[in-house]
Structure 1
């Protein structure tokens, strides 16, 4: 896979890494907001302990990305 990037000059490679860093940062922030929205009602109504709700949200968000792929988005 690295052979795909062998022909890039330094400037293009740095811009590519910067774009990747921005995407990863955006996805992390988006995940924080999704988790907060998903567990807020459950925690507020005390239907579930907060630690369990956050762990379940993390597991199912990960499984959604892993199994759903781009069709989830």
Structure 2
């Protein structure tokens, strides 16, 4: 789950919508400072640069884990 701090302080938060036929669709919605849920989401928010850095770190960590696993598995 990512909560993105957009320029101007708007937050992009996860949201689920249920269509008329019962299908659930995951997406996002933007909320402003006047939204009652803003302060709750703000604690989880990261700007886009922070999210990119975290994503790169996670990919690198995943690569390390997979490399170790493949080495053990193939031995």
Return the structure number with greater relative CO, CA threshold 8 A, min gap 6: 2
**Above 0.5 in TM-score?**
no
More helix by share: 1
Q: TM-score, normalised by structure 1?
A: 0.42
More strand by share: 2
Q: TM-score, normalised by structure 2?
A: 0.41
